[in-house]
Amino acid sequence: MFTLLLSVLYTLVPTVWGEVSQRATLGNKLASNGTGTPYSMNVTDCPGYTLGSLQESDIGLTAQLTLAGPACNAFGLDIANLTIEVTYQSQSTLHVKIYDTANQQFTIPESVIERPAAPTTSYTGNSDLVFNFDAAPFAFWITRRSDPDAMPLFDTRTSSLPPTPIPPFNASDPSTAFDGFPLVFEDQYLQVASALPYGTNIYGLGEVIASSGFRRDIGTDGGVGTIQTHWARDVADPIDQNMYGSHPIYVEHRYNATTGKASASGVLLLSSAGSDTFLQTPPNSKVSLIEYRMIGGILDFYFFSGPSDAEVIAQYGSVIGYPMWQPAWGFGFHLCRWGYHNVSDDIENVAQMRAAGIPLEVQWNDIDLYHAYRDFTTDPVSFPGDELRAFIQELAANNQHYIPIVDVGVAITVNSTDVYDPFTRGVEEDVWIKNPDGSLYLGQVWPGYTVFPDWFSENILSVWTEALRNWTEMGVEFSGIWLDMNEASSFCSDSCGTGANYSALAPLSVAGTVVTGYPECYNETIWGPSGNMTINGTYTNSCTTSSTTTLVERRDVEGRGVERRGVGAVLFVLYYGFDLTRNKAIGSLYRNTLATNATHSGGYAELDVHNMFGFMEEKTTHLAIQSIIPGKRPFLISRSTFPSAGKWTGHWLGDNYSKWQYMYLNIQGVLQFQIYQIPMVGADTCGFNDNTDEELCNRWMQLSAFVPFYRNHNTYAALPQEPYRWESVANASRIAIAARYSLLPYWYTLFANASMAGLPPVRALFYEFPDEPELFTVDRQWLELRPSTVTVQTSPMTSLIDILSYRYLPGRGSVIWRDWYTHGAVNATSGGNTTLDAPISHINVHIRDNSVLLLHQEPGYTIYETREGPYSLLVSLNAAGTAFGTAYVDDGISFPPGPSRNLTFQAAESTLKIQSEGAYGIAQKLETITVLGVQKPAQVELQGSSTDGWTYNEATEELVVSNASVDLNGQFTLAWK
Residues annotated as part of the active site: 484, 487, 655
**CA–CA separation, 458 vs 431, rounded Å?**
8
Element (H, E) at 829: none
Query: Which among 307, 214, 312, 204 has a CA at the least distance from the CA of 262?
Result: 307
Segment (H or E) for 347: helix 343-355
User: Residue 607: how many CB atoms within 10 A of its CB?
Assistant: 24
Strands 410-411 and 448-451: antiparallel
- CA-based torsion, 259, 260, 263, 269: positive or negative: positive
Instruction: Measure the CA–CA gap between 753 and 679, rounded to whole angstroms.
Output: 11
Q: Which of 284, 146, 285, 265 is nearest to 202 (CA)?
A: 265
Please tell me the distance from the alpha carbon of residue 174 to that of residue 168, in angstroms, as a whole number. 6
CB atoms < 10 A from the CB of 576, how many? 27
The Cβ of residue 333 has, within 10 Å, a number of other Cβ atoms equal to 25
Count of alpha carbons within 13 Å of 878, Cβ hemisphere only? 16
Q: Who's near 329: CB < 8 A, 6+ residues apart? A: 361, 362, 401, 479, 635, 862, 863, 864, 892, 893
Which sign does the torsion angle of CA 96, 98, 102, 106 carry?
Answer: negative
Instruction: Please give the full DSSP string across 248-317, using - where no structure is assigned.
Output: EEEEEEEEETTTTEEEEEEEEE---S-EEEEEE--TT-SEEEEEEEESSS-EEEEEE--SSHHHHHHHHH
- Evaluate the CA torsion angle 696, 697, 703, 707 in order and state its sign: positive
- CA 881-706-752 angle, 5° bins: 75
β partners of residue 853: 874
Query: Which sign, positive or negative, has the C-alpha torsion 210, 214, 219, 225?
Result: positive
232: helix, strand or coil: coil
CA distance 248 to 268: 6
User: Are the C-beta atoms of residues 337 and 292 closer than 8 Å to each other?
Assistant: no
83 in Cβ contact with 99 (< 8 Å): yes
Q: How far apart are CA 950 and CA 374, in angstroms?
A: 61
**What are the CB-based long-range contacts (under 8 Å, 24+) for 821-830?**
821/845, 822/956, 823/847, 823/930, 823/932, 823/953, 823/956, 823/958, 824/955, 824/956, 825/933, 825/956, 825/957
- Determine whether 570 is exposed, middle or buried from the number of CB atoms within 10 Å of its CB (0-12, 13-18, 19+): middle
Which DSSP letter does residue 673 get?
H
- Of the chain, the end-to-end C-alpha distance in Å amounts to 81
**Inter-CA distances, 912 with 707, 719, 792, 822, 877, Å:** 30, 51, 33, 22, 11
Amino acid sitting at position 350: V
| 3-class SS of residue 409 | coil
* Distance (Å, whole) CA 855 – CA 173: 55
- Other Cβ atoms less than 10 A from the Cβ of 244: the count is 26
Torsion of CA 75, 80, 83, 86, to 10 degrees: 60
Range 278-312 burial, b when 16+ CB lie within 10 A, else e: bbbbbeebebbbbbbbbbbbbbbbbbbbbbebbbb
Cβ-count burial 529-553 (b if 16+ within 10 Å, e if not): ebbbbeeeeebbbbbeeeebebbbe
